[in-house]
Structure 1
Amino acid sequence: MRRDIINTAILWFVLTFLAELLLPNFPFPIQAAQEAVFSDESFRVLLVLGMPVFTFVVAVLAYSLWKFRARGDTLEEGAPIRGNSWVSGVWLAVTGGLCVLVIVHPGLTGLAKFAGNPQAQLVVKVTGKQWAWDVEYPAQGIVHASELVLPEGQRVEFQVTSSDVLHSFWIPAFRNKIDAVPGTVTRMYVTPNKIGSFEQDYNLRVQCAEICGAGHAIMSMPVRIVSAQDFQTWVQTQAPPTDPVKRGELLAKSQGCTACHSTDGSPGVGPTWKGLFGEQETLADGTVVTVDEAYVRESIGNPSAKIVKGYNDGLMPKNFGTTLKEGQINDLLAYIASLK
């Protein structure tokens, strides 16, 4: 028995040493916010302190499988193993202490860090919808932004909600995320600390982290972190365009239309918009229609009325007819008609 304990301890030490040797090389995404630094540090502590527990279980199981395996035709029962209340008590105390140290304490302090100091310098309203993010900067008068632009070094308050189903607002480079719940506004605080963009690192993006339907995987938005001066310059350039085609393009991106309808002729979840206006389309029931203003308006208000052959029904949200204003629909029509 003593030898078995020694052998198990040696195996445990070797496995723990190898595991801890590899942990420093564990890859993390870019840290683009102060909260990401704390999150990664907590995760490393969890790995370093939790790994010996994992390797201990593996060592005991592996040694037991090898040492006490059946040999030959022997079917005799092994000697009974007596319980030891002292060992059980120590083990429960150690594991309970590790749980408090590794899980409970970092969790509580982490929540305090993420939610503390709510004096935000910038408020961004975010609305999730199938399958896009609608971003608004109320103090700056910016609505329907096509990307999430944030100033470096300023604390940002995200006011997150949903207009249809449950979504989850997540930026991998920031680590923390929060649910977007219909009828409820949830808040998340972040302090960006690294200038960058989605083009430089794909972790700088808003990504839905809650399965929300067929377009869940493509429900994303690019994030760009700029200096405070560049942010003010960007704000000044965000005046609504006067060209209806340009307004329609921005609206299509902000409402998630281009997530399903391509504008370059490439295949997608829905028919491409390139060269669509004025053409004839064959519907699922075999009839042929001309894609004119009346057809587009009907498809926005009642997307299930006329389904193009080869495409599925039920994917397009059915509330655009009530959420979009008449002027916005006109802008979309102008944009679709311009895609020759």
Structure 2
Amino acid sequence: MMKGLKKWRFLALLSALTVFLSACGEKDLTTLSPAGQVGKDQHNLLLLSLAIMTLVIVVVVIIYVLVIMKFRRKKIGENVIPKQVEGSMKLEIIWTVIPIILLLVLAVPTVYYTYKLADTKAMEGSNKEKQAEVVTVNVTAKLYWWEFEYPNQGIVTSQELIVPTGQKVYFKLKAGDVKHSFWIPSIGGKMDTNVENVNKFYLTFDEESKDLKEGVFYGKCAELCGPSHALMDFKVKTVAKDDFDSWVTKMKATKDRKTLGSVEQQGEAIFKQSCISCHATSGAGAGTGIAPNLATFGDRTRIAGILEHNDKNLKNWIKDPQAYKEGNMMPKPEKINNGKAFTDEELTALSAYLMSLTVEN
């Protein structure tokens, strides 16, 4: 009776896991359906290692079963001792050489792709004209947000990474506070961002993201960094080269952007009195690393990387950021507004102004 119950428990657990795991594999957030050459190379290595492990397991199980079947006491008797093979030179060579061969089969392509991925000479080239054609992104990870600076294009953004398809995009990774890790599961990676040194690698983006669920690939921090580590997301928009160049031009133009509408202008005035010391609203220039750049805030798909992009969530985030991302560095309004919370009218104006910061509409 108990054995039957245990079997049913196992089947119930397996069924539950099947339901939960069925949500895995979304195109915008899975390593099993890579959308870039680096991800495909890493996926092939994963399949190779899985095949080797499966082969080893199958061979061991077969030998185990054969030995059990052949040398059962019922078959050979109680007092029969099988032939002893201890010290057999032939067997010693076999089970030494085979693991070495398997390790070499796995090690050679692993070392090859490791060095291939680390080849970032193109972004350090001496020819400035050719270097300017390379898309390099300086990534700075902070608690709990991401800054993306494009030094060759002279622009900066935060939380949403925009990259062209069909070419290598080079990354320089660093952390501004504690160790983080940069990872775009569907594209490839991951690599640590450290405070004391810069890590470099490249990725390729083969598919445009416009047809995905929210029009973006998801990026993650893959290193436990604090209480809101699980909420440290960023989004990746992959576009054609011409669209990327157009976006760069629009980003440069944000330094001369004029605010239209009386409510938006009221919000801009409030922003300049309370928020401008940390946040920039121009995408031109270099990153400050103090707080997220808001030049494209109206184009984002999420607020604070996690909340649905709408007016209500934006107001709630401004009023109490700690309620949504514990440990983040954004202060409550009282600390930047002369000890007073923003009124509903001020929040409405601020929200309207921030939502108007767009380069795509």
Give your verdict on TM over 0.5.
yes
Give the match for residue 306 of structure 1.
none
Separation (CA, whole Å) in 2 of partners of 1:196 and 1:338:
30
Separation (CA, whole Å) in 2 of partners of 1:265 and 1:78:
82
Separation (CA, whole Å) in 1 of partners of 2:232 and 2:73:
55
SS of corresponding position for 2:34: coil
Give the conservation status (yes or no) of the 8 Å contact 1:174–1:190.
yes
Give 1:88's match in structure 2, choosing from 77, 85, 92: 92
Q: CA deviation at 1:184?
A: 1.6
**TM-score normalised by structure 2 residue count:** 0.60
Give 1:315's match in structure 2, choosing from 326, 337, 340: 326
Separation (CA, whole Å) in 2 of partners of 1:173 and 1:260:
19
SS of corresponding position for 2:188: coil
Residue deviations 1:134-192 (CA, integer Å, cap 9, x gap)? 11112222223341111112221101111111111111122221101113211111232
Residue deviations 1:255-306 (CA, integer Å, cap 9, x gap)? x97257877598xxxxx653688xxxxxxxxxxxxx7xxxx9xx9xxx8xxx
Give the conservation status (yes or no) of the 8 Å contact 1:198–1:222.
no
Give the match for residue 338 of structure 1.
350
Separation (CA, whole Å) in 2 of partners of 1:252 and 1:195:
19
Distance change (3 Å), C-alpha of 1:105 and 1:154: same
SS of corresponding position for 1:139: coil
Q: Which letter does structure 1 place at the counterpart of 2:48?
A: V
Give the match for residue 170 of structure 2.
157
Separation (CA, whole Å) in 2 of partners of 1:168 and 1:259:
16
Distance change (3 Å), C-alpha of 1:35 and 1:97: same
Residue deviations 1:93-117 (CA, integer Å, cap 9, x gap)? 1111210122x21111011221225
Separation (CA, whole Å) in 1 of partners of 2:153 and 2:311:
36
SS of corresponding position for 1:134: strand
Give the conservation status (yes or no) of the 8 Å contact 1:168–1:210.
yes
SS of corresponding position for 2:226: coil
Give 1:258's match in structure 2, choosing from 304, 309, 312: 304
SS of corresponding position for 2:173: strand
Give the match for residue 274 of structure 1.
315
Count of paired positions: 268
Give the match for residue 105 of structure 1.
108
Greater relative contact order structure (CA < 8 Å, 6+ sep): 2
- The more displaced of 34-43 and 206-215 is 34-43
Separation (CA, whole Å) in 1 of partners of 2:135 and 2:108:
30
Residue deviations 1:188-211 (CA, integer Å, cap 9, x gap)? 112322222484488822211112
**TM-score normalised by structure 1 residue count:** 0.63
Unaligned segments of structure 1, at least 5 residues? 1-25, 267-271, 278-290, 304-310, 327-331
Q: Which letter does structure 2 place at the counterpart of 1:60?
A: I
Give the match for residue 170 of structure 1.
183
Distance change (3 Å), C-alpha of 1:141 and 1:117: closer
Give 2:62's match in structure 1, choosing from 54, 59, 77: 59
Separation (CA, whole Å) in 2 of partners of 1:78 and 1:214:
63
Separation (CA, whole Å) in 1 of partners of 2:94 and 2:181:
41
Q: Which letter does structure 2 place at the counterpart of 1:250?
A: L
SS of corresponding position for 2:140: strand
Give the match for residue 121 of structure 2.
118
Give the match for residue 12 of structure 1.
none
Q: Which letter does structure 2 place at the counterpart of 1:338?
A: L
Counterparts of 1:1-340 in structure 2, within 5 Å, are: 29-64=32-67, 79=81, 81-86=84-89, 87-102=91-106, 104-116=107-119, 118-120=121-123, 121-197=134-210, 199-200=212-213, 204-238=217-251, 239-240=253-254, 241-243=257-259, 244=268, 247=281, 250=294, 258-259=304-305, 274=315, 315-318=326-329, 338-339=350-351
Distance change (3 Å), C-alpha of 1:111 and 1:215: same
- The more displaced of 192-201 and 105-114 is 192-201
Note the aligned Cα RMSD (angstroms).
4.3
Separation (CA, whole Å) in 1 of partners of 2:328 and 2:202:
30
Could you tell me the percent identity over the aligned residues?
25
Unaligned segments of structure 2, at least 5 residues? 1-24, 124-133, 260-267, 272-279, 282-291, 337-341, 353-361
